[in-house]
Amino acid sequence: MNYWLFKSEPDEYSLDDLASEPDQTGRWDGIRNYQARNFLRDKVNAGDGVLFYHSACKVPAVVGTAEVMRAAYPDPAQLDPESPYFDPKASDENPRWYCVDIRWQSQFARAVPLAEIKQHPALADMVLVKQGRLSIQPVTAAEWSLLLQLGTGAGPGL
DNA sequence: GCCAACGTTGGC
DNA sequence: GCCAACGTTGGC
């Protein structure tokens, strides 16, 4: 059982968008970065926990959680010429990109902003803090439970 | 909208 | 395989 942080721009796909999918389950596709792809393809398993993070918005923050329902399979968008995620170098036999299915699990009572995560001594080593641009990243069990705690409504100082 | 950090591309 | 040029991410 592993923990992850998935980034999404809420204008593109928010936690609410996931919640309104049929069965509250959506495909996490469009990942076109090799480091993120490798995590997805090799490490993300069904049952893993996901911190849902909103990026490129007014208050970047962890806003809730999701659960991985299906481990990696080839991202269909790479073969669709109409898709913005189309990749001419990918094929059925040799897919380059992968996606997973995740299901909405919870919305935090209080979103935990990046600014607060950066300030928190116990969260200073998060990949989110150290490597700003990675859209799929591992989270430790300790970071996971602390984030959940902060998200239940306890303030930063508590 | 700016810009720093980082990733990717392509010439050589 | 190096590296310059360019593109993208994402915080501020």
pLDDT-derived band at A126 (thresholds 50, 70, 90) equals: very high
Domain annotation covers residue A153: no
From the CA of A133 to the C1' of B3: give the distance in Å: 14
Domain annotation covers residue A155: no
Q: Can you spell out the DSSP letters for A84-100?
A: TT--TT--SSS---EEE
Domain annotation covers residue A43: yes
- What number is the average pLDDT over the span A74-101? 89
pLDDT (tens digit per residue) in A24-70: 999 999 999 999 999 999 999 999 999 999 999 999 999 999 999 99
Domain annotation covers residue A149: no
Domain annotation covers residue A150: no
Domain annotation covers residue A157: no
Percent of the residues in chain A that have a pLDDT greater than 70, as a whole number? 97
How many domains does chain A fold into? 1
Q: Nucleotide C10: nearest residue by CA–C1'?
A: A56
Bridge partners (DSSP) listed for residue A107:
A64
Q: In the 24-83 stretch of chain A, whose C-beta falls under 7 Å of nucleic acid strand B?
A: 33-35
- Determine the pLDDT at residue A90: 86
Spatial separation of the C-alpha atoms in residues A62 and A29, rounded to whole Å = 19
Domain annotation covers residue A151: no
Q: For position A41, which CATH number holds?
A: 3.10.590.10
User: Does residue A137 reach within 7 angstroms of strand C, measured from its CB?
Assistant: no
Domain annotation covers residue A158: no
**In A21-153, alpha helices (H):** 34-42, 114-119, 127-130, 141-151
